[in-house]
């Protein structure tokens, strides 16, 4: 009898253990389902949106992706894209993880203004500013175009509608009393398409917002004598007063074989991340980048520094980036 009772007790204990184990698995499974899609440290493959292949974002983004991948356990893949505006929207939709953008575009997105009118984006945060994005109004030396005012009546590439370049072109032309709609024959071309159009004589000039020297313009200058139309100091001041994201900038003599430096304006390129990337992940990305700037071979690497990385950043810093800059004693 005692053996029988002992056997029944053991069987009941085994059954109870199986029930408890099954409940545990169910609860664990529910947790996994609840966390499905959440970015954790286990998600090592990240995408970095850059820009068109003829600009600065794409080659520089490839180098940054390589550095971060080498210095962390992450695998960053740089992807070509339509640049700033498209990048902000793609990131907001959750279809990428990191992106290049312009500081002015990031501000428009967070405020829901201009091309983001009525569609403010609040799930993207800054990693840091990188370098000046120079507004370059490109034409040929023998074009007869010597000032912004000379663009009236000309065929001019102003970038894709809603792009950062388009916003820059619109604002600069406005300051000079020129309407994109009424006073020029606007074309909406990518950087390499713009320089090819200039070379072929299909367009007269192009707005290109990118770090100088820009690959597409360098390619053009190897075939034709290039001219960059200046934005004078008084117009630069007027522009910055109305649109505070702009700062005076200079394209040095010798760039594109120019025989003298050219006054212009610039915004800043910056790196941004989705807000839901973990603090540790973004800290590691930020540290890998800014602690290894010397490894960047692209000419723009010389203009990137942790000390300047918070200049002009008008949106919230990601907590991971903030932790890095706090450790460095750098604040906005």
For the chain, list the domains and their CATH numbers.
45-131+269-328 (3.40.190.10), 133-267 (3.40.190.10)
Confidence of residue 12 (pLDDT cuts 50, 70, 90): low
* pLDDT surpassing 60 at residue 18: no
* pLDDT surpassing 70 at residue 29: no
Percent of the chain with pLDDT over 70: 87
Which H or E run includes 264?
A: strand 262-274
**175 vs 12, which has greater pLDDT?**
175
Q: What is the mean pLDDT of the chain?
A: 88
Instruction: Establish how many alpha carbons lie within 13 A of residue 16's alpha carbon, considering only the half-sphere containing its beta carbon.
Output: 6
Task: Give the tens place of pLDDT for each residue, 87-105.
Answer: 999 999 999 999 999 999 9
Q: Alpha-carbon distance 23 to 278, whole Å?
A: 30
- 289 class by beta-carbon count within 10 Å (0-12 exposed, 13-18 middle, 19+ buried): buried
Confidence of residue 17 (pLDDT cuts 50, 70, 90): low
In order of 284, 308, 313, the CA distances from 318 in angstroms are 12, 17, 12
Weakest mean pLDDT among 114-118, 192-196, 293-297 = 114-118
What's the pLDDT score for residue 176? 97
* pLDDT surpassing 50 at residue 293: yes
Q: Would the pTM of this model clear 0.85, i.e. be above it? A: no
Confidence of residue 231 (pLDDT cuts 50, 70, 90): very high
Q: Are 106 and 275 in contact (CB under 8 A)?
A: no
Confidence of residue 26 (pLDDT cuts 50, 70, 90): very low
Q: Alpha-carbon distance 331 to 57, whole Å?
A: 26
Q: Alpha-carbon distance 174 to 305, whole Å?
A: 33
Q: Alpha-carbon distance 238 to 173, whole Å?
A: 12
């Amino acid at each position: 009898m005692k053996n029988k009772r002992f056997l029944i007790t053991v069987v009941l204990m085994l059954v109870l253990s199986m029930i408890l184990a099954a409940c545990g698995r169910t609860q664990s499974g529910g947790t996994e389902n609840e966390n499905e899609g959440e970015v954790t440290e286990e998600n090592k493959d990240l995408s970095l949106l850059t820009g068109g292949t003829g600009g600065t974002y794409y080659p520089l983004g490839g180098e940054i992706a390589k550095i971060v991948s080498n210095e962390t356990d992450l695998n960053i893949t740089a992807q070509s894209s339509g640049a700033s505006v498209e990048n902000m929207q793609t990131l907001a939709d959750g279809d990428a993880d990191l992106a290049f953008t312009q500081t002015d575009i990031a501000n428009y997105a967070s405020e829901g203004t201009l091309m983001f009118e009525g569609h403010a984006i609040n799930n993207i945060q800054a990693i840091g500013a990188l370098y000046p994005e120079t507004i370059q109004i490109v034409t040929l030396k023998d074009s007869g175009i010597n000032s912004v005012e000379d663009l009236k009546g000309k065929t001019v590439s102003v970038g894709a509608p809603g792009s950062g370049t388009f916003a820059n072109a619109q604002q600069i032309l406005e300051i000079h009393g020129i309407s994109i709609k009424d006073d020029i024959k606007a074309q909406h071309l990518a950087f390499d398409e713009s320089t090819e159009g200039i070379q072929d004589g299909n367009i007269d000039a192009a707005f290109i917002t990118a770090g100088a020297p820009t690959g597409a313009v360098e390619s053009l200058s190897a075939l034709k004598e290039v001219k960059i139309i200046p934005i004078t100091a008084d117009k630069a001041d007027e522009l910055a007063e109305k649109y505070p994201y702009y700062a005076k900038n200079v394209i040095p003599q010798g760039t594109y074989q120019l025989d003298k430096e050219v006054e212009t304006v610039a915004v800043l390129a910056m790196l941004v991340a989705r807000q839901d990337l973990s603090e540790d992940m973004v800290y590691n990305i930020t540290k890998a980048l800014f602690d290894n700037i010397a490894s960047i071979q692209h000419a723009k690497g010389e203009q990137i520094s942790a000390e300047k990385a918070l200049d002009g950043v008008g949106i919230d810093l990601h907590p991971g980036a903030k932790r890095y800059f706090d450790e460095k004693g750098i604040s906005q």
